[in-house]
Amino acid sequence: MPKIILASMGSRDRLLVDGAAVLAARCGVSAEAVVRLDDVAEHALHPEDGVLAACFAGASSFVVAGSRPRAVRALLAFGGVPCDGLAIEWVALPFDHEALKREYGVPWYPVIDRTRCSGCGTCRDYCLFSVYEHEPDAAAARRVRVAAPLNCKTGCPACARLCPEAALIFPFCAEAELNGEIAEPARRSPEALADALGDDPMRVLAERRAKKRLIDRDKFEQAERDRVLYSGVL
């Protein structure tokens, strides 16, 4: 019998059904047998609390349900759960789209869909806040990771719009194309990226890289600490 998990990404992630009851009926178990995993986004930021690891221990297979399985999967992977190595059946449940529109979710940061990321580095080049970096491991030199999630500017999903593979997910963004709601979002052509960035997307990215180099690193880091401390995001 698989372990049955109902995952909620946070307080703005609200279902339109009794998720435990629907999942229990689907799997032929009682609602009490469904394990609730709440605040996945928060636990992904703090995997040292052990909540995610404990939830995915003690079973050989799992059924995981939530509003947007693609976003849940990316968050779990960010939090250290080896989703690719586990036998997981993903179930999508209907959710309240308007809840995401009423106000920004907390916390706000991107996660990477590893099934789509090509490691091109567009997100790293475009972001001014050093959210992304290449993996330090030489064997994974082209792999990009979310290195400083809380550097992300709350409400800004610009990098996700520019990802050629549509591999970036903002779980608390209201837009379906960016929040993991669409299971297979369309990849973006060079023409689409040029339309978003201007006639010469590579020039725009080069200018943003140059702007990053002009910022005093110590002042930038202090500004980032202040922004995180006083923004009220967490």
Is 216 inside a domain boundary?
A: yes
pLDDT at 198: 74
Quote the CA–CA distance of 21 and 196 in Å, as a whole number.
Answer: 43
63: which strand partners? 4, 89
Number of compact structural domains in the chain: 2
Q: Read off the pTM.
A: 0.85
Q: Is the separation of the CB atoms in 91 and 26 below 8 Å?
A: yes
**pLDDT tens digit sequence for 16-71:** 999 999 999 999 999 999 999 999 999 999 999 999 999 999 999 999 999 999 99
96 compared with 229, residue with greater pLDDT? 96
Is 11 inside a domain boundary?
A: yes
Is 106 inside a domain boundary?
A: no
User: Which structural domain, as residue segments, surrounds residue 80?
Assistant: 3-101
Neighbours of 54 (CB within 10 A): 10
> Of 38, 70, 101, which residue sits at a domain end?
101
Instruction: Give me the phi and psi of 163, to 5 degrees please.
Output: -65, 120
214 and 169 in a common domain: yes
> 28 burial class (0-12, 13-18, 19+ CB within 10 angstroms)?
exposed
CA–CA distances in Å: residue 126 to residues 129, 130, 133, 175, 209: 9, 9, 11, 20, 7
Q: What is the mean pLDDT of the chain?
A: 88
**pLDDT tens digit sequence for 186-231:** 998 887 777 777 777 667 777 776 766 665 666 656 665 665 665 5
CATH of the domain at 11: 3.40.50
The residue length of the chain stands at: 234
Closest CA to 130 of 197, 53, 223: 223
Quote the CA–CA distance of 190 and 195 in Å, as a whole number.
Answer: 9
pLDDT at 234: 46
Closest CA to 157 of 167, 169, 165, 149: 169
Is 222 inside a domain boundary?
A: yes
Residue 18, CB-side half-sphere exposure with 13 Å CA sphere: 9
148: Cβ contacts below 8 Å, ≥ 6 apart: 129, 130, 131, 133, 224
Whether residue 109 has pLDDT greater than 50: yes
50: Cβ contacts below 8 Å, ≥ 6 apart: none
> Of 67, 101, 135, which residue sits at a domain end?
101
149 compared with 204, residue with greater pLDDT? 149
